[in-house]
Amino acid sequence: MAYCAETLRPRNRLLQSLPEDELQRLGPLLERVSLTPRRVLQHAGLPIEHLYFVEEGLVSVLAKVDERHAVEVWLIGRDGVVGSTALLGDRISTFGHLVQVGGSALRIGIEVLEHAAADFPSLRAALDGYLHEGLMQSSQSAACGLRHPVLKRLARWLLMAQDRSDLDALPVTQDALARSLGVRRPTVSEAFKQLEQHGVFARERALIRILDRASLERIACRCYRAMRLVRDTSEKPKTKRRVMALSLLWILFEVELAAS
């Protein structure tokens, strides 16, 4: 289904940040598509043909660790774009992209978007900023996996998922979370029990309803607060780059501590 900028407003936050004239010109180039759970939007090692501006749902960016297993290094929701690394010049996807929570997205061909980004300075700046944030998130995920216990990592994931989806009840299973965190299902189950004892969420069939976000933030590792700092910083490019650089140094320090 084609997207019409004159009658519909995008729900993707990156697109919402664009000036009206750029959005009006970009609108006819976008196509709204459904994101069904477990759908693979992009296979690792294959060319990137489309980018997806997520409007509803969550997409896991997965790095393969062996022939059978992959670990989530990036979580994309309404704040971001699937396939954005193609804008760095490499059309072959390094990562797989799997729909974790179903929803919808606005799809555009990579070549079409590249031409649009050359003409629309605000779009180019927004995409560049998002790529920087993606670098931060993937670096943080690597440090987090080395340094922090599963309980704190699970709390961080739930907070990030809510931030990126605006959902109070997340339709995710423990199996899916175990895959995202790169741990065994019993390990996630034990962490769930501990979080339930704190009263931070309730399980409703296939939903996880967050009840006490403040307590969940206290339980989560410092990686979550570092990423929130990046997201909440002023959109001024120089300020944002400074904060990202400082946060990246902190993350690398965490990795060094974990390795020592």
Spatial contact of 75 and 164, defined as CB atoms under 8 Å apart? yes
- The answer on 156 and 109 residing in a single domain is no
Residue 63 CB: number of other CB atoms within 10 A?
18
Q: What is the pLDDT of residues 223-251, one digit of tens each?
A: 888 877 776 663 445 545 555 555 555 55
Structure tokens, 18: 């664009």
- The answer on 103 and 17 residing in a single domain is yes
Q: How far apart are CA 178 and CA 59, in angstroms?
A: 15
- The answer on 151 and 71 residing in a single domain is no
- The answer on 225 and 153 residing in a single domain is yes
Q: What is the pLDDT of residues 72-131, one digit of tens each?
A: 888 999 999 999 888 888 899 989 999 999 999 999 999 999 999 999 999 999 998 888
Phi-psi region of 182 (alpha: psi -120 to 50; beta: other; left: phi over 0): left
CB within 8 Å of 250: residues ≥ 6 apart: 226
Residue 8 belongs to a domain: no
Where does a domain end: 72, 104, 120? 120
Where does a domain end: 120, 153, 170? 120
- From the centroid of its chain, how far is CA 229? 15
Where does a domain end: 120, 154, 176? 120
What sign does the CA torsion over 149, 37, 135, 45 have?
positive
How many distinct structural domains can be found in the chain?
2
pTM of the model: 0.86
Number of Cα atoms under 13 Å in the Cβ half of residue 35: 30
Residue 32 belongs to a domain: yes
Tell me the CATH number at 217: 1.10.10.10
- From the centroid of its chain, how far is CA 21? 27
Task: Report the percent of the chain where pLDDT is more than 90.
Answer: 58
What domain range is 94 assigned to? 13-120
Tell me the CATH number at 97: 2.60.120.10
Spatial contact of 26 and 5, defined as CB atoms under 8 Å apart? yes
- The answer on 99 and 157 residing in a single domain is no
Phi, psi of 83 (to 5 degrees): 95, 10
